[in-house]
Structure 1
Amino acid sequence: MSIFFKSRNSEPPAMPLEGVLGPNSLLDEAPSFSIEKPDALAVAADGCLLISTGPSVWSLGRWGEEPRQRFSLSCRVTALAASPGGQIAVGLETGEVHVYDMAQDQPAWTVPAPSGNSPAADCIFLREDKLAVVRSGYASVHDALARSPWETAQGGAVTGHSRNGMTRVMAGGLACPMGICRDDRGDLIITEMVTACVIEPSGRVRGTGFPAYIGRIRKTQKGYLLACLSRRDPLIEFLRTEQDFVKDMKKIIDPRHWISPRTTPEFSHEFPIELGATRLFGEIKPWAPSFSYGLLVKLDKDLMPQGSAQSRANGRQHAISDAIVWNGDIIAVSQASGEILNLGSWA
């Protein structure tokens, strides 16, 4: 049976949040600044940090400076990548990916939207004239988190696109792929959110059992940074084996109230298990049940965890959608709090 259609029962149990993944509050304590609807990061050839914010891309020259707008688009930006030669790829929620030369305000070339209008979740330059695009099969991170744990269809893909218009499928039938990068050998590796795996385009599993619904992955000098959109909740993992319950839940309950991971620590008695988060005087404890979480995992070159930065149930810096090394510091995006976090060297 193809690795892309393996049984969910074959998935290994999630790593516990202990040892090098033990709970902490590093994300809560990190210096930060607020920016509207942040999502993706990239480092441009000129050394500036690029940040996607809603329908715009902003540029930051140095930490502590005011960011300036680099591009203004007609709709939400869903992916960013920069090439060594100065090109910048900007994925849009319409499914298109525009590629800009550094000094131009108009796209030098464009990857057209696929049928089904699936936005790019991530992208990477293979060469200056070639781009690999990851499409999760869902309209947004929020939609992917709500629906993908309960879907049996695996409609994600990675496609290669050349400036001359040539397109090819590099990997298909993926379980909600969210990120892509190169390893030390220059080979591509891809994250699958639902299975919490890092795989090669061939389907070979390189890392598995991660304790989260994983997002983008970025190469560092010592290994990788793995951005996590939420932790893998034991209740959700158990209910994925209860098909009758899932069928009824999807049929009669609004998706907003499904038992699913979320990007925000919004509290409501309408949400499942949230009553368990209430303590004396309404205080939410760090260990309380929560479907949102802040987690960034540092991996070595073999994709083994070496450390983590967290924002627990009572924190705000949840839904880490991207993280990257910039000027020696680890910079991360918290979608839940709408902040860019600076974790420094995070030794």
Structure 2
Amino acid sequence: MIGAVKRAWANFRGFDLTGSTVPPMDGPLRPNAKLDAAPLLLDLADVDNLVLRGQQIVCSVGHEIHTLATAAGKNGQALSITGTRNAGKPVTSMAAAGDLLAVAVEGEGIHIERPGRASAELIRPEGLNLECITAMAFADPSTLFVAVGSASNPAHRWKHDLMTKTEAGSVWRVDLAAGSAVSIASGVAFPSGIIVSKDRVFVSEAWRHRVLSMGLDGSRQQIALGSLPAYPGRIAPTAEGGFWLAMFAPRNPLVEFVLKEDEYRSRMIETIDPEYWIAPSLATGRSFLEPIQGGARKKLNMLKPWSPTWSAGLVVRCDETMSMLRNYQSRADGDVHGVTSMCEADGRLLIGAKGSGKIVAIDELARHAAK
């Protein structure tokens, strides 16, 4: 009886009893098209793990690692590939500290490349799922913090991890000298970004739409940034203090609803190709077989960019406490979608959009720093 009354009252007032609502893009997340207006530096399909190693810009594409350098372009400086090497298997994450580089290779382990050494040191810490190292960050030259997205899925099956509601990620502190690792957090819902700041570790918890803060030993866990309208990903430091936070896909009310419909979701997973699931995506509009949500598509031959969409581009500038300050977006009708990594180099922010296969630059850092 009470349930019927609650449902009737909710229908009358317009309440959402399914929990499928998504927070609005407002305040520091107010929509804009700054990523689409940013200068294009390089077209590079599936670009990921953009990091600055010393004075070199490095990124990965599948099992290849590219070294990039500035070159003359149509609109000023561009990027070109100056070197390529093969890691043998897909590179799932990279982190740099000065000239020190850590490369996580799917199923193989973490390669530590030190300056002046011809070969890399391979570390295979016991207990980690080496197929799903999603993010890494150096605390110092001998300590590496590692985010493992899932204990049961490889990194490229991130959609499976979300749609099966696995929530089996973990955070580890790795002693590079000893090659050992200690788990400092478990049961994390796909940690996809990590950074160390003084005595705190910030971790993006993608499937719970928040960023966690914890001590270097995993103690004093708290929510630093919550109720996000998109899935948070990798975190990069800024020269002026604070962080850059990538959000690799927007949340969608239909996806939130499907996550609550267990039978439907199970049948979808069993019978439909993951590319066409009702699930977030790094890029959309490539096939007519993709799920259609009318509000996010075309009406009278016009795309409605303010409507909910399956993919978008979003980078957020946060302060030292992970409070949001401003953002750079590519909306539904844009073409810089699926941002998974970024780094600062030469006084500008380089942004790698894996979904769209582009590297763009934000050149207004000095203007914001002067305010």
TM-score, normalization by structure 1: 0.86
Whole-Å Cα distance in 1 between the matches of residues 97 and 85 of structure 2? 17
Q: Distance in 2 between matches of 1:253 and 1:72?
A: 33
1:321 deviates by 0.0
Q: Which residue of 2 aligns with 1:43?
A: 52
Q: Do structure 1's residue 197 and structure 2's residue 216 form an aligned pair?
A: no
Provide closer, same or farther for how the CA distance between residues 298 and 244 of structure 1 changes in structure 2, counting only shifts above 3 A: same
Q: Match for 2:276 among 249, 257, 265?
A: 257
The CA RMSD over aligned residues, in Å, is 2.5
Q: Secondary structure at the match of 2:120?
A: coil
Q: Partner residue of 2:29?
A: 21
1:128 aligns with one of 141, 145, 153: 141
One-letter code of the match for 1:68? T
Q: Which residue of 1 aligns with 2:11?
A: none
Which stretches of structure 1, 4 residues or more, deviate above 4 A after TM superposition? 11-14, 112-117
Find the residue that maps to 1:214 and give its secondary structure.
strand
Q: Which residue identity does 1:119 align to in structure 2?
A: C
Tell me if the contact between 1:56 and 1:69 (Cα under 8 Å) persists in the aligned partners.
no
- Aligned 1:163-178 pairs, distance under 5 A: 163-178=177-192
Per-residue CA deviation, residues 99-154 of structure 1 (Å, 9 max, x unaligned), is: 0112334213423585654231111123322222211014235x21x223333332
In structure 2, list runs of 5 or more residues that go unmatched: 1-16, 71-76
Residues 228-256 of structure 1: CA deviation (Å, up to 9, x unaligned)? 11111122223323334333433443433
Report the Cα distance in structure 1 between the residues aligned to 2:321 and 2:224, rounded to whole angstroms. 8
1:196 Cα deviation after fit: 1.2
Match status 1:230 vs 2:257: no
Counterpart Cα distance in 1 of 2:120 and 2:189: 31
Deviates more, 1:21-30 or 1:52-61: 52-61
Structure 2 partner of 1:159: 172
Per-residue CA shift, 1:282-306, capped at 9, x if unaligned?
x433234421111111112232221
Aligned residue-pair number: 332
Shift of the alpha carbon at 1:38? Answer: 0.9
Q: Residues of 1 paired with 2:311 and 2:304: CA distance?
A: 14
Alignment match, 2:285: 266
Letter in 2 for 1:280: L
Unaligned runs of 5+ residues in structure 1 are 1-8
2:28 is matched by which residue type in structure 1? V
| Corresponding residue for residue 60 of structure 1 | 68
Alignment partner for residue 294 of structure 1, among 281, 296, 313? 313
Identity of aligned residues (%): 26
Correspondence for 1:3: none
Contact 1:40 1:79 in 2 (8 A): yes
Q: Which has more radius of gyration? A: 2
- Counterparts of 1:135-154 in structure 2 under 5 Å? 135-137=148-150, 138-141=153-156, 143-144=157-158, 146-154=159-167
CA contact (8 A) 1:25 1:310 kept: yes
Residues 96 and 119, structure 1, Cα contact 8 Å, conserved in 2: no
Residue 213 of structure 1, CA deviation: 0.8
Instruction: Tell me how far apart the structure 2 counterparts of residues 15 and 218 of structure 1 sit (CA, whole Å).
Output: 24
The corresponding residue for 1:104 is 117
Indicate conservation of the 8 Å contact 1:96/1:113, yes or no.
Answer: no
